[in-house]
Amino acid sequence: MEVRNLKPGFAALGVVMDFLARDQPFANFKAGDLLAAITYQLSLGHHVAGFENSRLVAYCGWIATSTAGGEAWLQGKGGLTIAPVETGDAVALTVVKVLQDKQVLPMIRACRDRNKGKRVFFKRDYAVGDKLSRKSAVINRAPEI
């Protein structure tokens, strides 16, 4: 799998929206909400996309946030809030879809490489099965000198 960033634009937006909306949980999202999230992520480069044979097979997108805001979200004391990119000391993975389990680790590594030194918050929902959702956070490794 090749992991890369997409150029912002209508073509990338269409490819990602089509990929996400085919399956749960994204198939039930309000189109405007999902469109706004993906447009934000593409415009700032806050995403990675996985391709196999020129076919999109994985997508991870995030927002800049604060550690305090992420902690409150983890504790159920509020929703995630977007922080200015320049001052956000954390990120939250908000849109993640992979077609196969083997794609998870390379995608997460790519997200972490692009956000060195920041705390990463995430919520995991499962499209199939009876696994419950869970929220968590990891401390990302410090930038290499």
Q: Report all structural domains of the chain as residue ranges with CATH numbers, in order of start.
A: 2-139 (3.40.630.30)
At 140, give phi and psi (nearest 5°).
Answer: -80, 150
**What is the pLDDT, as a whole number, of residue 145?**
43
- CA 59 distance to own-chain centroid: 7
* pTM for the model: 0.84
H or E element that contains 49: strand 47-52
pLDDT in tens, 40-61: 999 999 999 999 999 999 999 9
Q: Determine whether 44 is exposed, middle or buried from the number of CB atoms within 10 Å of its CB (0-12, 13-18, 19+).
A: middle
Mean local confidence (pLDDT), 90-109: 93
Residue written as token pair 């809030």? 81
**What is the pLDDT, as a whole number, of residue 132?**
47
Q: Does the bond joining 106 to the residue before it have cis omega, within 30 degrees of 0?
A: no
